[in-house]
Homo-oligomer: A and B are copies of this chain.
Amino acid sequence: MPRHPFDDDTLHEECGVFGVVGVTDAANFVALGLHALQHRGQEAGGIVSYQEDSGFTSARRFGYVRDNFTKASLMETLPGALSIGHVRYSTAGSKGATQIRDVQPFFGEFSVGGTAIAHNGNITNADALRRELIDRGSIFQSSSDSECIIHLMARSLQRTIPEKMKDALRRVEGAFSVVAMTRTKLIGVRDPLGVRPLMLGKVADGWALSSETCAFDIIGAEFVREVAPGEMVVITEDGVESFRPFEAQQPRFCIFEHVYFSRPDSILGGRSVYETRHAIGVELAREAPVEADLVCPVPDSGTPAAIGYAAESGIPYGMGIIRNQYMGRTFIEPTEQIRNMGVRLKLNVNRALIEGKRVILVDDSVVRGTTSRKIKEMILDAGAREVHFRIASPPTAWPCFYGVDTPERSKLLAATMSEEEMRDHLGVDSLRFVSLDGLYRAVGEAKGRDASCPAYCDACFSGDYPVEPADMIEKGFELKAAE
């Protein structure tokens, strides 16, 4: 997602899911919904739909939703009143290896009928499950962890598809928000911790499921409620049935969805994401004030926090960095010369505004730190007198194993440096992160983080993993030592 200048210096949500039932030409709604969720996955997208005459039909494509799923000639091949879709991120550096067969939704034909599923999240015991299933004679078609769900369902002794899905998901560990469809049902499930979001909406006479509420707005749907952690909803044209197939647990929703992943116009936990980010900026201004002449966001993800910081501090707000609107995902097949241009291709300094000023730069996070250094250089080249970084999240010191693309731990700046070392490394006059408590306050936990029972998954900041990452531990990943 081009919110941020360097694609390899930010965390990425890996997927967005959307489904709709009970409307004519449902796939058109799914295309629009996926377009609104494009920031959750830009590499590829897929849509499956069902109509009695044509059966299940599907289309999977690399590239943006708007470039593929908007052509009448393609959309005509996806008829019916029931449809689901998926967008998927390009994991850094592995573009070449991704194949179209890894693009969801996945489909399985069972004796009781076909099922398509789209999965947002990450299964932490997928390697072990895959080995077990292959030993029993399953043939995998993709390299995706999500395909395990289909094979587990195929082997389930249960007799209906919802029951097969419950059966399968009880074997699955990790984070999953799943949207699935049969010939007659739209199904949504969220893992017991509710790590990834899943929303229920009402559209005309039908229903919709979406990773975020912003996708309801685009199709004119009404946001009804969140699917609860551990809940399965089974939706037909007749209505919504709710089940609780898993043992109940304390929910741990991903706090980074508030910080960066979700769109600012989405509603999470009853609050607009924009407001939360504005509130983080306010917290930052309180926790880390500094004398300066200008509060300047790193566009576009730092903008709401910068507005909040400016409002709280009384320091003027201004767009000292201008983003090129035509970046798209990135230059395709760049020449060497273009590759070296780096950040200048995406951002330009508004020199007249910066010159001679003490500038507070507000950014959403620091991952590897490479981009922050280059932005600092641009600002200083433009004649800034001082540069103060204010970061709208705590230091990112641990990788995520629940559906977010993060560098390995050793590449995370905060994993190897203290805040002061980072400040020196970036070469700025000051560097401050919002505290974990400040972040919790901004998302509405007035008392900050309750360490004995945290309300969110904040493993990327705290190293406190609510689900043991079994496959990664087998590969040698070391958990934070108990203190």
A-side interface residues toward B, CB under 8 Å? 1-3, 25, 28, 31-32, 35-36, 38-39, 42, 64-67, 70-73, 75, 108-111, 131, 134-141, 150-151, 154-155, 214, 217-218, 220, 263-265, 267, 271-272, 274-275, 278, 300, 303-304, 307, 311, 316-319, 322, 324-328, 331-335, 337-338, 341, 344-345, 348-353
Which B-chain residue is minimally distant from A130 (CB atoms)?
Answer: B109
Are A218 and B344 in touch, CB under 8 angstroms? yes
CA distance A77 to B138 in the complex (A): 27
Q: Chain B residues near A155 (CB, 8 Å)?
A: 137
Beta-carbon contact of A70 and B272 below 8 Å? no
In contact, A337 and B28 (Cβ under 8 angstroms): yes
Alpha-carbon separation in the docked complex, A349 to B322 (Å): 22
List B contacts of A263 (CB < 8 A): 322, 348
28 residue pairs bridging A and B, Cβ less than 8 Å apart: A3-B325, A25-B335, A28-B337, A28-B338, A32-B345, A38-B324, A39-B325, A64-B326, A70-B332, A70-B335, A71-B332, A72-B333, A72-B335, A110-B134, A136-B137, A137-B137, A137-B138, A138-B138, A139-B151, A214-B348, A217-B344, A217-B348, A218-B345, A263-B322, A265-B351, A271-B352, A272-B350, A272-B353
With A28-B335, A70-B338, A138-B138: A311-B316 Cβ-Cβ less than 8 Å = yes
When all copies of this chain in the complex are counted, the total is: 4
Could you tell me if A265 and B109 are in contact, using CB atoms closer than 8 angstroms? no
C-alpha spacing A326/B33, complex, angstroms: 13
Asked if A150 and B139 sit within 8 Å, CB to CB, the answer is yes
Give CA–CA (A324, B64) in the complex, Å.
13
> Are A345 and B265 in contact (CB-based, < 8 A)?
no
CB of B66 within 8 A of CB of A331, answer: yes
